[in-house]
Amino acid sequence: MSASPWSLPFNLLVELLVAALIVIGALFTALGSFGLLRLRDFYSRLHGPTKATTLGVGSLLIASSVYFSRLGDGLSLHEVLVAVFLFITAPVGAHLMAKAALHLRVRGQTGLPPDDLLNGPDDGTLDPSSTESSPQDAKSILKDASKEKG
Amino acid sequence: MTDLLSGAGSTGAILNGALGIALLLVSSALLMSLARLVIGPDKPDRILALDTLYVNSIALLVLFSMHLGNDLFFEAALLIALLGFVGTVALARYLTRGEIIE
């Protein structure tokens, strides 16, 4: 077998591609769970599983799609379905968990979230004095406009 | 291990090594998520650990199906993804609202 990679057999190229995707995906998956275990507070820990682990599982599913497309007859697209579903649902789940943590007033250690979010009303929204300023301004603008008309 | 992959028509040595490394890494990821599930100081930490556990189990199932050369595991992976998402949403809604179905 010659030294040029372009003259390698096709099966070996597919195997190298699948092996590289598998190792990269497993590394990202393990790194996400390591971040979940070792980071300091909840808002930092939310980053590891929702980004690194999802990306790693996506890489594993692409590797599996390539492998079973080579092994079977045609394209194997079940894995793409699982990957699309995971990529859609991971941000939704992370958003709901962050809202639950804000609702329970979980304290971070890095200055996040700001005190406006933690000391605000029950549903974890912003400070009412800062959010209601713009409607008041709009009302006063409307009043001024009506005065000018009258 | 190689006789299970004999239908692949490839040599399989590199792939078997990569699958071994990946199974080890994903299993350690499952153990780390389980540790966070046990020691998690707050309730959202435990929900996040459960979420990570089901995503890791999907990864382990995919790796195992490649190890066996059998693509009948993807319906199971899709079911785990679906029910895991529903479970995460239900638990987070329970912490936020106090009840799941209003």
In chain A, what percentage of residues exceed pLDDT 70?
Answer: 67
Minimum mean pLDDT range among A38-47, A100-109, A131-140: A131-140
Copy the structure tokens of residue B44.
């959202």
Q: Is residue B86 part of a domain?
A: yes
- Is the pLDDT higher at B12 or at A49? A49
| Residue B1 is assigned to a structural domain of this protein | no
Residue B60 placed within a domain: yes
Residue A150 lies in a domain: no
Q: What is the pLDDT of residue A117?
A: 64
In a domain, B102, yes or no: no
Structure ipTM? 0.83
The parent domain of residue A60 ranges over 7-113
Domain count, chain B: 1
For residue B29, the enclosing domain spans 6-97
In a domain, B93, yes or no: yes
CATH of the domain at A40: 1.10.287
Average confidence score pLDDT of chain B: 84
Produce one character per residue of B67-86: b if its CB has 16 or more CB atoms within 10 Å, e if not: bebebebbeebbebbeebbe
The domain total for chain A is: 1
SS3 breakdown of chain B: % helix, strand, coil, rounded to 5? 80, 0, 20
**CB contacts, 8 Å: B89 with chain A:** 92-93, 96
Q: With cut-offs at 50, 70 and 90, classify the pLDDT of residue A11.
A: confident
Residues 117-146 (A) with a CB less than 8 A from some CB of B: none
Q: Work out the average pLDDT over A80-108.
A: 88
- Please count the other Cβ atoms lying within 10 Å of the Cβ belonging to residue A109: 11
pTM above threshold 0.90? no
- pLDDT tens for residues B10-52? 457 888 888 999 999 999 999 999 999 998 788 889 999 999 9
Does the pLDDT of residue A127 top 70, yes or no? no
Give domain status of residue A129, yes or no. no
Q: Which residue has the tokens 């605000």?
A: A120
B3, burial (CB in 10 Å: exposed 0-12, middle 13-18, buried 19+): exposed
State the CATH number of the domain containing residue B73: 1.10.287
- Mean pLDDT for A71-99 is 87
**A34 and B33 Cβ atoms separated by less than 8 Å:** no
Chain A, 83 to 112: residues with Cβ < 8 Å from chain B are 85-86, 89-90, 92-93, 96-101, 103-104, 106
Query: Comparing A112 with B26, which gets the higher pLDDT?
Result: B26
